[in-house]
Amino acid sequence: MDIRQKETLEQMTGGGIRFHYPMHRLTTYQVGGPVEALWEARDLETLKKVIRYLSLEGIPYGVLGRGSNLLVKDNGIDGVMILLKGSLAAIKEGAEESLVWAGGGAPLADLMNWCRQRGMSGLEFLAGIPGTVGGAVAMNAGAFGQEVNERIKALQFVLPGGTPVERNRSELKFSYRRLHMEEGRLVTNVCCFLDRATPEAVSEKMSGFLKTRKQTQPLEYPSAGSVFKNPPGAPASTPGAGRLIEKAGLKGKKIGGAMVSEKHANFIVNNGGATAADILMLMDLVRFEVKRMLGIDLEPEIRVLGK
Ligand SMILES: Cc1cc2nc3c(=O)[nH]c(=O)nc-3n(C[C@H](O)[C@H](O)[C@H](O)COP(=O)(O)OP(=O)(O)OC[C@H]3O[C@@H](n4cnc5c(N)ncnc54)[C@H](O)[C@@H]3O)c2cc1C
């Protein structure tokens, strides 16, 4: 970005843009170099204008949720990262009682509280996933045999030219840990359908899932959750990525500050002072060894950004 572009963006955003912002503060891995510019979008009108400007000027941009599925490289990111806040992170009841509209930037924890308080059931499996609603939809987040797409009725996006659109469930394509969408689309609002239950029943289900997470995941260390996708095939006949990494004898393997968790081998944790390069090198080693010893190619689930 040149000075003119930076000044224009400052004006358009009312000074709400920060330059050279360290990404390690915004990712659950707590690693990553600076992004050229970070902007907290708070309303749809300004978001549309800024996206239009960035597209016209050819300035790269991306949207950041909680950074809980991201590995940002040590030399940072060019362009603008956008956080969705304010009205773009609000949660509201839909036209029918069984519907909820959640802003792309809403923390999943807020959506869990909303469901718990109203006794609305169907999304409990997301309890404990540290992301945002937009991040969960973009990643088709899932756990305990369920995926978020199963509960989606419609999505609202902003397209690269700044145009808002709405798409129904039948117009959307999801696959394992992925929403298929054009580069540069931002999910601004998500409509989910839920079932009526009681606050107690919803709360009990969430507690059960949270308890299992605590028992099976190394939540005491910074991470981005499961690093690799489970290989395709029925879970009963194909071991998950964690089991394969364990079979290859890689539990506890370290490179610099990165370590394959002893508790859950598909988590590479930041054991203290890790760099993105340490984590990437350990990922490469894991892929190489699993391929060499077991003949299976592991595909990363986490998204790697930056340079
Ligand atoms: C301890 C731990 C446990 C986890 N457990 C699970 C689990 O059980 N199941 C699971 O699926 N994941 C899990 N994860 C991974 C992660 O939390 C999820 O993928 C989560 O949904 C990512 O949300 P986020 O807001 O952090 O997205 P980010 O990491 O910020 O972004 C991920 C991707 O989504 C895109 N994105 C984010 N917001 C939007 C938006 N509004 N519009 C368009 N694109 C967007 C980003 O550009 C990026 O490409 C876990 C992570 C941790 C740290």
Q: What is the domain partition of the chain in residue ranges? A: 3-84, 89-216, 241-305
Out of 23, 111, 139, 210, mutate this one to test ligand 1's pocket (max ligand atoms within 8 Å of CB): namely 139
pLDDT at 232: 85
| Predicted TM-score of the model (pTM) | 0.96
Task: State the closest ligand 1 atom to the C-alpha of 133, by its place in the atom list counted from 1.
Answer: 25
* Catalytic residue flag (residue 177): yes
Task: State the closest ligand 1 atom to the C-alpha of 140, by its place in the atom list counted from 1.
Answer: 11
For residue 220, name the pLDDT band (cuts at 50, 70, 90). very high
CA distances from residue 19 to 7, 9, 22, 42 in whole angstroms, order as listed: 11, 11, 9, 18
Q: What is the pLDDT of residues 37-50, one digit of tens each?
A: 999 999 999 999 99
Cα–Cα distance, 304 to 307 (Å, whole number) = 9
One-letter amino acid at 292 equals R
For 25-62, the three-class secondary structure string (H helix, E strand, C coil) is HCCCCCCCCEEEEEEEECCHHHHHHHHHHHHHHCCCEE
- Per-residue tokens: 29: 């891995």
Average pLDDT over residues 119-147: 97
Cα–Cα distance, 170 to 154 (Å, whole number) = 9
Q: What is the pLDDT of residues 77-90, one digit of tens each?
A: 999 999 999 999 99
Q: Are 185 and 196 in contact (CB under 8 A)?
A: no
For 185-230, the three-class secondary structure string (H helix, E strand, C coil) is CEEEEEEEECEECCHHHHHHHHHHHHHHHHHHCCCCCCCCCCCECC
pLDDT at 234: 57
* Catalytic residue flag (residue 299): no
Cα–Cα distance, 151 to 143 (Å, whole number) = 13
Give the chain's radius of gyration (CA, Å). 20
User: What value, to the nearest 5°, has the Cα angle with vertex 177 and ends 185 and 236?
Assistant: 165
Residues in contact with ligand 1 by the CB-under-6-Å rule are: 28, 62-70, 84, 104, 129-132, 134-136, 138-139, 141-143, 186-187, 217, 219, 223-225, 303
Q: What is the pLDDT of residues 59-70, one digit of tens each?
A: 999 999 999 999
Matching CATH number, 89-216, of 3.30.465.10, 3.40.50.720, 3.90.1720.10, 3.30.2080.10: 3.30.465.10
* Catalytic residue flag (residue 289): no
Q: With H, G, I as helix, E, B as strand and everything else as coil, classify residue 171.
A: helix
Closest CA to 231 of 177, 186, 195: 177
For residue 143, name the pLDDT band (cuts at 50, 70, 90). very high
Cα–Cα distance, 37 to 239 (Å, whole number) = 42
Q: Longest C-alpha distance within the chain, in Å?
A: 58
Matching CATH number, 3-84, of 3.30.450.20, 3.40.50.300, 3.30.43.10, 3.90.320.10: 3.30.43.10
pLDDT at 239: 79
pLDDT at 233: 75
What's the CATH fold of domain 241-305? 3.90.78
Q: With H, G, I as helix, E, B as strand and everything else as coil, classify residue 157.
A: strand
Whether the per-residue pLDDT at 95 is higher than 90: the answer is: no
Name the strands in the sheet holding 258-260, side by side, starting at the edge strand that comes first in the sequence.
Answer: 254-255, 258-260, 268-270
Beta strands, E only, the chain: 17-22, 34-41, 61-64, 70-72, 77-84, 91-93, 99-103, 120-121, 142-143, 146-147, 152-158, 164-168, 173-175, 178-180, 186-193, 195-196, 254-255, 258-260, 268-270, 303-305
